[in-house]
A and B are shown apart, each in its own frame.
Chain A
Amino acid sequence: MSSPSTAMAGDSPDRAQPSASAIGRVTNLLRRVPYAGRWCFAVAFLNVLIWTFVIPPFQVPDEISHFGYVQYLAEEGRPPPQGPIGQYSPQEQNTLDALSFVVVSGHGEQRGIMNSVEQQGLREELASSGSPVGEGGSSSATDQPPLYYALEAVPYLLSPSREILARLELMRALSALMAALTVLCIYMFLRELMPGTPWAWTVGALLVAFQPMFCFIGAGVQGDNLLFLASAATFLGLARAFRRGLSTKRAALIGLATVAGVLAKLTFIALLPGIALALALLAWRAWPSGKGQALRSLAVASAIVVIPALAYGILNTSVWHRGGVTAGGVAGATTSTNAPGQIINFRETLDYIWQLYLPRLPFMYREFSYYPLITTWLDGTVGQFGWLDYTFPRWVYTVAHWLFAGLGVLALVTVVRMRSAIRPWLGMLVCFAVMTVGLLAAIGDAGIHYRASTNDVFEQARYLFPLLAFYGLFMVLAARGVGRRWAPALGAALVVLAMAHGLFAETLTISRYYG
């Protein structure tokens, strides 16, 4: 890392670009992305696109619900009303039946369409399938804001074919694009943090681009994809502002990334305290060089977030009648799902959240019969695919444990070595820590209430993927742990390992669904 005030030569951030058209501006913006960054973006897009070919329709977790939301929004022009009515359109329901969706999802030994006779049956079903207009009943996605779904409605409506599976594939391609943009943001994020180490930007971005669980989710119609992108863009925006100062333009970009996250998935709300702290800190730092500028930047960022969020809340209650300001999206993840008569107190929630990530302390009530740090987060990141119905052989996870432990030690060595270079970044790191703790706490809070109401496990590794930028950072810090001479070589080895991880995840997926 370099000092926040150190900008790269020839990298002045706010150069005026002489272009009137939007296309020209986008082209100019792309030109400002380094060559390797553009390649990382292209590689990530193509890689996730390949995943969309491999994964059968609706086999990405909750894809049925997310598709249902998009279809309702595209057909009716508003988000689903929710309630105890039909979740999916007759067209989607018939397609799911024809694909034996209920039988295949969650059952690793089952297969979908395996021969031409069944394929013919599917084709006939699709040709005569019912209406694409459903009732918009409550599903696992309907209490979320509509931004991701509105974006996905574009390929849905632009699809040259009205066939549901063709539309699904085009929508998946847009998700792949979001995944690629996430990778690009992470590349740029690492560039801000380590401007003097260009190889690290490429290595960190590629390690994310080939992370198989990220690719698996990225290949589906899944609202998390915009959440990941918005989170990565927010971290990038904040890192830029901490390094270069809070200009109005940078504040606007932070605001845009933040509001995209808030309107993508309500989980993003957990990051808001950290973002607010960061903006306050940035404004305080900018104060001596111009109060007006600092206040203007703060106001711009706040307005960009607050106005659309308020508009969403008002529309929810007064126009769309979706059962509350957040359409039940926040309450749904907290107390309202408790079993009747069950009260979860603050102490219990804290115990749960702590043990979700850290070893239990002696005075704590035992919340888990397993160790979530390993089972949920680490093993889940290595690979729990489909509707959590197939995994790698056990030995792969054992090797991964040792590998991550080794990388952790190396990353720690780097942090200790670079402690003086890190010191100027402490303010930013504190803000990132607050954002991280906010997310971890929100997952834990939702988890304990979900468990109380369903007796089932809530947490999945992908819930941590809004922090993917730190995954990339962790990896390059680990690579630097072996010293300056060997760091690029270890970085290259890690990238090949990640690509192999992705490759074998794909062969595993092919054997699961087609073998």
Chain B
Amino acid sequence: MRVRVVLGVTCALVVGALILDMSGSAPRIADTDHLNPVGFFSSMLGGQELCQPQMLLPNDAQRVQVLIGTYGFPVPALAVRFVDSAGRVLSSGRIAAGSPQGKVTVPIAYPHGATANGSLCIRAGGRRKLVIAGDIVTPGPAADDVQGAIEGGRMAVVYLRPGKESWWQLLPTLSRRMGFGKALFFGTWTLPVAALLLLGLWIAVGRLLLRELT
């Protein structure tokens, strides 16, 4: 009887904790450009535009986040646009001047269609120099250019999804993503099947404990 009660109460607590945990809302990542911000290797002056080629704009990106240093001054007004290889603007957005240096998030027009290849361009207002965190690359087609001049770095960019989402809301996306980057036989089924197996496991362990401990 004691074991039965303990199992019932603890399992109920776990279910409650899981529901609570899954219900927490926060901004969620759409993707990154797979670069770590190991240093400030991209720079530009106010009034200039820095463009980073070979970028992917995920279909679920509604904000662009970069790490900006301004030597202590407020971040100037920033305008962001994503252009495809034909030069068409697929999405754009801006923020006013005044943000503190650090992670700066710029909202972009959303929805903007399917995931697309192109270049991400950032234009800074004001006159002061600003630096953007990223990594060093060999000057060439993958490097940033500022007003047409090739730089030796690439920005580390994080794309965020719209608004805040709970894990419940993100479940379909998680299911899709868990099928990516793995052996071919994995797919969108991976997460639901794993969850079902885990549920079966909990039931089996519960029965085993009742059998062995009572």
Contact = CB atoms under 8 A, between A and B. Distances in A.
Chains A and B bind each other: yes
Interface stretch (B27-35, B81-89, B92-100, B145-153): B27-35
A54 interface: yes
A115 B174 contact: no
A489 B2 contact: yes
Q: Is the interface of A mostly helix, strand, loop or mixed?
A: helix
Contact of A497 (B2, B10, B18, B183): B10
A132 to B, nearest CB: 15
A424 to B, nearest CB: 26
A507 B6 CA distance: 24
A50 B204 CA distance: 15
A41 B14 CA distance: 24
Contacts of A486: 2
A493 B6 contact: yes
Contacts of B22: 507
Contact of B58 (A42, A114, A514): A114
Q: Is the interface of B mostly helix, strand, loop or mixed?
A: helix
Contacts of A497: 10
Contact of B205 (A50, A161, A491, A495): A495
B14 to A, nearest CB: 4
B115 A115 contact: yes
Nearest to A58: B181
Most buried by B among A42, A168, A510: A510
B208 A161 contact: no
Contacts of B213: 199, 202-203, 488-489, 491-492
A367 to B, nearest CB: 30
A104 B21 CA distance: 24
A328 interface: no
A49 B57 CA distance: 34
B208 A113 contact: no
Interface in B21-44: 21-22, 28-32, 34-36
Contacts of B194: 50, 53-54
Contacts of A114: 29-32, 58, 177, 180
A158 interface: no
A118 interface: yes
A198 B212 contact: yes
Given A103-B34, A203-B213, A492-B6, A165 B208 contact: no
B208 A111 contact: no
Contacts of B58: 114-115
A108 to B, nearest CB: 11
A139 interface: no
Contacts of A39: 204, 208
Interface stretch (A1-9, A347-355, A456-464, A498-506): A498-506
| Contact residues on A (Cβ < 8 Å of other chain), bracket | 35 or more
A118 B180 contact: yes
Interface residues of B, number: 55
A488 B3 contact: yes
Interface string A36-77: 100110110011011001101100000000000000000000
Nearest to A40: B208
A25 interface: no
B35 A103 contact: yes
A372 interface: no
Given A46-B197, A202-B208, A489-B2, A111 B32 contact: yes
Contacts of A118: 31, 56, 180
Interface in B173-214: 174, 177-178, 180-186, 190-191, 193-194, 197-198, 201-202, 204-205, 208-209, 211-214
Contact of B14 (A166, A491, A500): A500
A163 B183 contact: yes
Contacts of A490: 6
A515 B167 contact: yes
Most buried by A among B14, B181, B184, B202: B181
5 contacts: A110-B36, A117-B117, A165-B183, A199-B212, A202-B212
Given A165-B184, A485-B2, A507-B21, 18 more contacts: A36-B212, A40-B208, A43-B204, A53-B193, A56-B182, A107-B36, A109-B32, A114-B58, A165-B183, A169-B182, A202-B209, A202-B213, A486-B2, A493-B6, A500-B14, A500-B17, A507-B167, A511-B167
The 10 closest A-B pairs by CB, nearest first: A113-B181, A496-B10, A113-B180, A488-B213, A489-B2, A166-B183, A165-B183, A100-B34, A514-B177, A114-B31
Interface of B: 2-3, 5-7, 10-11, 14, 17-18, 21-22, 28-32, 34-36, 56, 58-60, 115, 117, 158, 167, 170, 174, 177-178, 180-186, 190-191, 193-194, 197-198, 201-202, 204-205, 208-209, 211-214
